[in-house]
Amino acid sequence: MSRNQLLPREPSPQDGPADDSGCPILHVDMDAFYASVELLDRPELRGTPVIVGATGGRGVVLSATYEARRFGVHSAMPMTRARRLCPQATIIPPRHANYAEVSRGVMEIFKAITPEVEPIASDEAFLDVGGARRRLGRPAAIAQMIREQVAERYGITCSVGVASSKFVAKLASRQCKPDGLLVVPADGVVEFLHPLPVAALWGVGERTEQALVRLGIRTVGDLAHVPVSTLQRELGAAGAHLAALAWGRDERPVVPHTPDKSIGNEETFSHDVDDPEEIRRELLRLSERVAARLRASGHVGRTVSVKLRRADFTTITRSRTLREPTDVAKEIYTTSCELFVAAGLERVRLRLVGVRVENLRPASSATRQLGLGEKEMGWREAEQAVDKAVRRFGPDAVRPASLVQRPFGPMDL
């Protein structure tokens, strides 16, 4: 059984409210996040299979509604396989700026409840609500409040696990998906963990799972009763770690969010490309996406880097630190093109390109000196207007003419 196939125990009417007295840790996970955000603008697709991802032959699934998942579709699956499994699905290209905007709002809901918030992705976070109990009530009540506020403010659902540790809270949120809440009492951790497949443990990937199955270890309970020395002999240092998790021992605290160090996007071509104009066209698309995500997150960055993967999978990266931080696609794109030329790969077949901006800082803290004769209103304001149009009318509402009309050079935007 895979880690995505954990079977929840349905509570019976006799169970009553679970004891959350020793459970200050919440794991909140948005349900099919990207797909759910897309359905806000496409309500007619609710209840139907929807897949979010790049439509190219080498694209992968970024998100899928639960209707699509019933056909076996899941995140990170190649899009070609997803189409075969669920040919009737509607495929929607990703709009990362929209997801970043909703993610930021959801995180603000969390931070209004407790400063102890540790985002681990754009759609999930750990919260320590121990300090909020006197003000807001028991952990389960706080979890329910979060679910209601997310649904009311953004029209999407989330699942929340409530437990005594991060590890168990994350498993609990997975168990109650979609749109659920599950409390694992502190004195019921072992009962909750031991029936689960061993793949549920953090650190058990496909290879480790196969090694454990060869030893006859199929459930967390099986592993819990194997001597630690045996696990260390078979798995090395990971053996002791897995043994501790099997008994629910996870002492890691919730660590409040540290700022993102970089924002980037990359694209794998459907076929290897050696046309420099086509490469520049893709660098433009990626620069626009990265700039939109920077503005949505409220950041600017000083270092622009490009990632270039050849047909033989050799990967080359080049970067340059700008004089001043930016969130403007034109500046990111111009620098990316210059880095592409400097890499000497203009006539080399490439299978992937990527653009990333690093050395981030809050946009509000960055001051920009105008050059001699430069207008106060310029590219950044124009791109902010584009952001508004895209949010209202969709990703194809406004595009550079160079992407739809003609080939272009590095300065043609």
Give the tokens for residue 395.
């990703």
Domain boundary among 152, 179, 206: 179
* Same domain membership, residue 285 and residue 240: no
**Are 253 and 131 in contact, with CB atoms under 8 Å apart?**
no
* Same domain membership, residue 373 and residue 313: yes
114 in a structural domain: yes
**Cα–Cα distance measured from residue 299 to residue 145, given in angstroms and rounded to the nearest whole number:** 30
pLDDT at 336 over 50: yes
256 in a structural domain: no
With 0-12 / 13-18 / 19 or more C-beta atoms within 10 angstroms meaning exposed / middle / buried, residue 405 is exposed
* Same domain membership, residue 121 and residue 162: yes
Domain boundary among 221, 246, 271: 246
Is this prediction's pTM over 0.75?
no
257 in a structural domain: no
The torsion angles phi and psi of 344, rounded to 5 degrees, stand at 70, 30
**Cα–Cα distance measured from residue 251 to residue 279, given in angstroms and rounded to the nearest whole number:** 48
Predicted confidence (pLDDT) per residue in 77-115, tens digit: 999 999 999 999 999 999 988 998 899 899 999 999 999
Residue type, 281: R
Give the tokens for residue 307.
């990632």
More confidently predicted of 148 and 376: 148
pLDDT score, position 404 = 46
For residue 349, what are the CA distances in angstroms to 48, 55, 275, 346, 413?
39, 21, 8, 8, 24
Please give the tally of structural domains in the chain: 3
Active site residues: 124
Q: How does residue 306 score in pLDDT terms, banded at 50, 70 and 90?
A: very high
14 in a structural domain: no
Binding-site sequence positions for Mg(2+): 29, 123
**Are 199 and 219 in contact, with CB atoms under 8 Å apart?**
no
Residue 319, domain extent: 262-404
Binding-site sequence positions: 29, 123
CATH assignment at residue 208: 1.10.150.20
* Same domain membership, residue 269 and residue 399: yes
CATH assignment at residue 88: 3.30.70.270
395 in a structural domain: yes
Residue type, 220: V
Domain boundary among 179, 214, 231: 179
* Same domain membership, residue 175 and residue 80: yes
Predicted confidence (pLDDT) per residue in 339-387, tens digit: 999 999 988 999 899 999 998 888 876 555 544 454 444 555 655 555 5
251 in a structural domain: no
